């Protein structure tokens, strides 16, 4: 009996501490701020994103549109949150699978060497053989990580705001959105494309830049998305005089491929 107990204790010591979370199984899984029949989604979760279920809610029949796409659901709801410090939102139980055990936020934040506030901000989604975790700290250096068992790989991203799982050219990646500021009149945003098999940065794509240091003000605005398995950036670059007159507008369509 003592030997069995010792083996069980040793096995427990080899495992990261865990907590239960619900897995999004729909793409997208809409979350709304108020339980109303026509409430527009506040957030669209991706498949494999993890949430904490706060409580079960009664059935609702719901229909709304977002960016021209119609979304409809009917059935029991769940009050959920992506991180313990987030305000709760409401989703439909049909968009989520069974509970799964994942490493605790506190343990992951410790392995990521993040500040104490990390545990209340930490968001996660499943990857092959483990979990991806990130601290959307917004200001300064933020951490992301992939944990498989007790093995944790991490890297730093300045100004991290959000991360979305994606499939690009048949390979799972994480699209990490971040903001930057090089001066009072020079700001922007970029997406870090991260490989997940061995955590590393594959690409860094500038998605926004506003430079008002000298006239004319130049502004690049757009969105990066996955189209038919390929990363595509669509946007515009324009030049504007201090009077407000736009003197040049250039449409942008850029495709990006993962390096080998």
State residue 65's pLDDT score. 85
pTM of the model: 0.90
**pLDDT tens track, the chain, 260 positions:** 333 333 233 334 568 999 999 999 999 999 999 999 999 999 999 999 999 999 999 999 999 988 778 899 999 999 999 999 999 999 999 999 989 999 999 999 999 999 999 999 999 999 999 999 999 999 999 999 999 999 999 999 999 999 999 999 999 999 999 999 999 999 999 999 999 999 999 999 999 999 999 999 999 999 999 999 999 999 999 999 999 999 999 999 999 999 76
**Cβ neighbours, 10 Å, residue 188:** 19
Contact between 211 and 222 under an 8 Å Cβ cutoff? The reply is no
- The answer to whether 134 and 146 are in contact (CB under 8 A) is no
What integer pLDDT is reported at residue 7 of this predicted model? 27
Closest C-alpha among 99, 100, 101, 140 to residue 117: 140
For the stretch 17-34, what's the b/e string if a residue is b when 16 or more beta carbons lie within 10 angstroms of its beta carbon?
eeeebbbbebebbbbbee
Q: Are 57 and 76 in contact (CB under 8 A)?
A: yes
């Amino acid at each position: 009996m003592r030997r069995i107990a010792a083996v069980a204790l040793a096995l427990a010591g080899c495992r990261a501490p865990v907590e239960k979370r619900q897995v999004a199984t729909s793409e997208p899984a809409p979350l709304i701020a108020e339980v109303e029949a026509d409430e527009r989604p506040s957030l669209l979760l991706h498949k494999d994103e993890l949430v904490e279920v706060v409580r079960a809610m009664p059935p609702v029949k719901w229909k709304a549109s977002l960016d021209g796409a119609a979304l409809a659901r009917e059935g029991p709801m769940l009050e959920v949150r992506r991180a313990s410090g987030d305000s709760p939102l409401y989703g439909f139980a049909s968009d989520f699978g069974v509970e799964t055990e994942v490493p605790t936020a506190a343990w992951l934040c410790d392995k990521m060497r993040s500040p104490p506030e990390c545990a209340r901000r930490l968001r996660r989604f499943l990857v092959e053989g483990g979990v991806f975790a990130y601290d959307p700290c917004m200001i300064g250096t933020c951490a992301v990580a992939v944990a498989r068992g007790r093995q944790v790989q991490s890297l730093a991203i300045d100004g991290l705001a959000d991360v979305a799982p994606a499939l690009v050219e048949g390979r799972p990646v994480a699209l990490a959105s971040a903001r930057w500021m090089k001066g009072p009149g020079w700001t922007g945003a970029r997406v870090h494309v991260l490989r997940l098999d061995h955590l590393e940065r594959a690409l860094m794509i500038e998605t926004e830049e506003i430079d008002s240091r000298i006239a004319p003000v130049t502004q690049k605005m757009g969105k990066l998305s996955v189209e038919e398995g390929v990363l595509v950036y669509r946007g515009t670059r324009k030049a504007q005089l201090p009077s407000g007159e736009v003197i040049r507008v250039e449409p942008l369509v850029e495709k990006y491929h993962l390096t080998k």
